[in-house]
Structure 1
Amino acid sequence: MCLLESFASGIHEELESIGFVKWSRAYSQRRRYNVMTTNISEGLNSVMLKARELAICSMLEVMPMMLQRWFFERRNEVDYQVTDFTKTIEGILKEQIERSRSMKVNPANNMKYQVIDRTS
């Protein structure tokens, strides 16, 4: 945080007001690869509960199969994506595009534009 504060004063308070859950992986409450933890050993333990009852060789065969399945599922999801954005970002962009339809843009020069919102 001190490093961020050195680049932009007031950023610490801003990020705190937003909430660490929104921007920090360490505080993220989202599940990643069916695992609700950031500690890799805890994560593997949580998904390997049933496999631990198997013989060691069988358990070691389960791990690559599980990872292969995860990567296959995610690759398939990405293959059917039309854009490079996540579903959440797609939704945000669609909302912004709809809002922008009522705006008028006048160029001031090559780098600056005047944007007029006709709805307000």
Structure 2
Amino acid sequence: MSASAALMAAAEGGIMGDGRTGANLALGVGLLGLAIGRLALARADGRISTGNARTGGMSAIAVGMAGTALAVLHLATSSGGPGTGNGLVGAIVAIPLGLGAVLLGRRALARCHRADRPADRMPV
């Protein structure tokens, strides 16, 4: 197959797995957000002493929102249904992963905020 024929096949969607690229990217970003959120939560609890939990929490929120946005964009632009090879099921799975990263990041930020409170204002 010549290079021009390969480019034509790619443009027409003839290469297997082409429709799944967006879903795989959204899945990867969602999993990365979950990992960052989990590390930020561990830092906020004091189990890991290196790094800043607040920065990790904000990063997890940003990465989780990006993963969710990529998954929703892929769902909106894909044609066909589940099982057609367009990556719809992967995009559907990526949405809760991204939202989970946002929730973990928010939880880490809340724990940082609670830890920064002065001792006289802590609830008993």
Confirm or deny a common fold (TM above 0.5).
Answer: no
Higher strand share: 1
Larger-Rg structure: 1
Higher helix share: 2
Q: TM-score, normalised by structure 1?
A: 0.27
| Higher RCO by CA contacts (8 Å cutoff, separation 6 or greater) | 2
Q: TM-score, normalised by structure 2?
A: 0.26
